[in-house]
Chain A
Amino acid sequence: MATNFTIEGLKATIEGKEILKGINLEMKGGEIHAIMGPNGTGKSTLASALMGHPKYEVTDGSVILNGEDVLEMGVDERARAGLFLAMQYPSEITGVTNSDFLRSAINARREEGNEISLIRFIRQMEAKMKELDMNPEFAHRYLNEGFSGGEKKRNEILQMMMIEPSIVILDEIDSGLDIDALKIVASGVNAMRSDDRGFLIITHYQRLLNYVKPDFVHVMMQGRIVKSGGPELAERLEAEGYDWVKEELGIEDETVGQEA
């Protein structure tokens, strides 16, 4: 089935403060969309609201994935419906090994009695870890515990590769990565590109987009998408910054709420 992900008029608040003020976006399988913008404009809130983070309350709008109402679903149902969010700050969970966690995630998508066999799972995990140049011992480490920033990001990409979602949201996956790690993460993303998978890449910087070519670039300010274009838009933002966009649109303060 062709993947179709539509966000319409999405508004969301945190602690009563409106951060998203009506987001519209349509994505299809095979497309890569980038959302760029300065700090504090609501980019990460969009990612969290789509995934269903309990701190954010959606007050208006709709999110439809392949005809299904995402906003009616719990966080786990959204994930099983095909949504994946690579988080900016993944939780650390003591006592739960990376491999136990991933196996639970995969089995959550399978019928009871049809769980993935241990040996097959291990083979898959080891192969993907190799692609991401991860030390095999990370399979047995506690989930994200004591991982460096870059290791956490790779681990997010590993999960994406294992889970094979249909809509992937990458929230600042490039922050805190050195150039080598960035290339590895980018090649992981590129390896996952397919006609039935869409990507929404949230980033401050152009540099990830040098390695993962977006089809569409959106600029977010004041909790809205204020400008959209092709890859050339990202290049201009990289070269000239955001001031020209603000000038063009008559925006003085691009931030929204108190989000950092």
Chain B
Amino acid sequence: MTTQTILPVNAEGLSALSKNSSEPAWLTENRLKALELAATLELPKLEKTRIERWDIQNYGSFKSVSPISSLAEAPESIRELIKDQEAGNLIIQRNSGTVYTKLSPELAALGVIFTDLATAVKEHEDLVKAHLHTAVKADESSVAALHAALWNGGVFLYVPKNVEVSVPLQAVLLTDDEEATFAPHILVIADTNSSVTYVDNYVSGTSDKPVTHNGAVEVFAKSGAKVRFATIHQLGTNVTDISYRRAVIENDASMEWIVGEMNSGDTASDTYSILKGNGSTSDSKVIAVGSGSQKLNYTTRANHFGKSSESQMITRAVMREEAQAIINGITKIEKGATKSDGQQTEKVLMLSPKARGDANPILLIDEDDVKAGHAASVGQVNPEQIYYLMSRGISREVAESLIIYGFLAPVVSQIPLEGLRTQLQSVIEGKLGQ
């Protein structure tokens, strides 16, 4: 079945918008080409998920925003997330544009660039042009094409050669105006032997009008670079979230994904490591809690090209009420990627008879001299465990929550940033209705 993509903007409007923002000509052209593609391409094919039935047409239109000069002016909904960050490295996007950007003078002096992508296309044009949409390509699907046509605000992070950034850089991406397009693009370039940690939060305001978030993340870890990318999505029931995250990992570089899927609306996400270089490594940890009548499709992928490359993917998901999750893990090892090792585990814990979880581990191996493994399980809370805990006087509610946290703990406890761990705990508590 062909699904006609309804374009939220026409070519003329898009072109005017791009020119209004004084974008370079190549970018205007890119956007227009992507818009054409969006009209012809199909929706992405998601395993056992009929995304064509989702509410994914609510793009609104571009609305400009006014910057804020201090965090005291930041909207109430994100105060908690930016507490004590007055001096921190922080970018805040609200709806279609960036409202706040701060990079410490120390990092700036080292040559680190941390700004919104809309600014970066002008000020760091060559760097952006060489990487933008080269990992998540516009011609992959109508969704990817629309993103390339419409993206706004966004984050650009560049870490120069041999620079090691020890403090995490943070971004907060907020949608609280359903009429405004919300399509941030995150572009991270870690140059040779550099290292950096980036953390972001996707949040929404109190509106209950439908919003579509069509986002993309592209990470380039050059030779020997270390990138840790942590993202927590806690968008409301009104937001449908489609997120593509992709990393291209060069020789001896390492990538770490930490993903908290804590949305309350339908979500499709794809977290993908391309292990291009020899000796490259990737580690993905995904923690998800589904509730209400959410439809969820989470995919993690590792694609091995480099020799002796290693990937590890772990997804742990708790589904309550009537949430339905499809969880895919795809490890692909290409011919020639000898001595590679790809491991994956997906585990789903269902808390109600109406919750559904489906774990699909897939190994695609075209090389003999490799190691690969997978494990998957879907289950309910074990009544023997509940009985045991209750036999010590613990109420059923507390017993269940101990077991749920216990289920997530082996992944949460490995998150190397204490602040993030604490934050994730509290988001999990919220999602579990406690």
Which residues from chain A sit less than 8 Å from chain B, CB to CB?
Answer: 51-54, 74-76, 78-80, 84-85, 87, 90-91, 93-96, 100-102, 104-105, 108-109, 142, 159, 163
Contacts and interface: CB of A to CB of B under 8 A. Distances in A.
A87 B388 contact: yes
A155 to B, nearest CB: 11
Nearest to B411: A95
Contacts of A91: 382, 384-385, 387-389
A105 B398 CA distance: 10
A76 B395 contact: yes
Interface in B382-408: 382-385, 387-396, 398-399, 402-403, 405-408
Interface residues of B, number: 24
A96 B410 CA distance: 10
B78 interface: no
B427 to A, nearest CB: 17
A151 to B, nearest CB: 16
Given A75-B387, A91-B382, A93-B389, A105 B405 contact: no
A93 B387 CA distance: 12
A148 to B, nearest CB: 18
Nearest to B397: A76
Contact of A95 (B382, B387, B398, B405): B405
A75 B388 CA distance: 9
14 contacts: A84-B391, A91-B387, A91-B388, A94-B407, A95-B403, A95-B406, A95-B408, A95-B410, A96-B405, A96-B406, A96-B409, A100-B402, A102-B392, A104-B394
Task: Determine the main DSSP class of B at the interface with A.
Answer: helix
A159 B392 contact: yes
Contacts of A95: 403, 405-410
Contact of A105 (B392, B396, B406): B392
B249 to A, nearest CB: 30
A94 B387 contact: no
Interface of B: 382-385, 387-396, 398-399, 402-403, 405-410
Contacts, number: 83
Contacts of A54: 383, 387
Contact of B393 (A53, A100, A163): A163
For B384, B393, B396, the residue with the greatest tally of chain A CB atoms inside 10 Å of its CB is B393
A53 B387 contact: yes
A142 B384 CA distance: 16
A75 B408 contact: no
Contacts of B399: 76
Contact of A79 (B391, B396, B403): B391
A54 B390 CA distance: 11
Contacts of B395: 76, 108
A79 B390 contact: yes
Nearest to B404: A95
A87 B405 CA distance: 24
Given A91-B385, A93-B385, A93-B389, A76 B396 contact: yes
Contact of A108 (B392, B406, B407, B408): B392
A135 B407 CA distance: 25
Nearest 6 CB-CB pairings of A with B: A95-B406, A95-B409, A79-B393, A105-B392, A91-B388, A96-B406
Nearest to B406: A95
Contact of B390 (A76, A84, A100, A159): A76
Given A54-B383, A91-B384, A93-B385, A105 B393 contact: yes
Contacts of A142: 406
A53 B410 CA distance: 29
B391 A93 contact: no
